[in-house]
Amino acid sequence: MAKRQWTSPFLLPERFPPLVQETLLRKVEMTKQVRCKFIQTIYDRICLFTISPTPDQRREVCRAIITSFPFLADASGGYEIWYRYIGEKIKNELQNEKSVLARKRKNIDGSNSSAKLRAVVRRGIVNWAPPATGGEDETSCKAHISWMKKEYKKKTAQPIRC
């Protein structure tokens, strides 16, 4: 999806979810649920331009919130709380995106590794081991295990003291 050029001043969404819209019209304090929906709607609008706005762009969004809805200003008349809320939302969304991308990693041959592993993986079974990879077979795995056991015995053996 092609991103649009950031517009200055930032324009808030024209429509909000009904619960948010009702709260904004009544000019009452937002509950956490309403605030989350409000911030999600604004974040969706920000994503039309960028997924990671600069601090100046975040300030511009906060100014637009306070300009459109002056009753949402901090006690001092500022927008610091909204700057923090939007920053946390952006951080959480970027974290979620990174974890999704990590799950979508492809093998060298281009196939999806997670689809192959799900069919084979049976966690919780006693002596569970992940499926063999990289040209390994059962006999080579057993040889590796026996070598590691032998090295472990050497390492944990008590030294002879005179």
Tens-place pLDDT, residues 30-50: 999 999 999 999 999 998 898
0.85 surpassed by pTM: no
Distance, CA of 6 to CA of 48 (rounded, Å): 9
Region 2-29: mean pLDDT is: 88
The mean predicted confidence, pLDDT, of the chain is 81
Is the pLDDT reported for residue 18 higher than 90?
yes
**pLDDT tens figures, 57-111:** 999 999 999 999 999 988 777 889 999 999 999 999 888 877 766 666 655 555 5
At residue 6 the predicted structure's pLDDT band, cuts being 50, 70 and 90, is: confident
Region 53-57: mean pLDDT is: 91
User: Coil, strand, or helix at residue 112?
Assistant: strand
Any idea where the domains of the chain sit in the sequence? Answer: 18-103
At residue 26 the predicted structure's pLDDT band, cuts being 50, 70 and 90, is: very high
Residue 11's contacts (CB-CB under 8 Å, 6 or more residues apart) are 45, 64
User: Coil, strand, or helix at residue 22?
Assistant: helix
At residue 139 the predicted structure's pLDDT band, cuts being 50, 70 and 90, is: confident
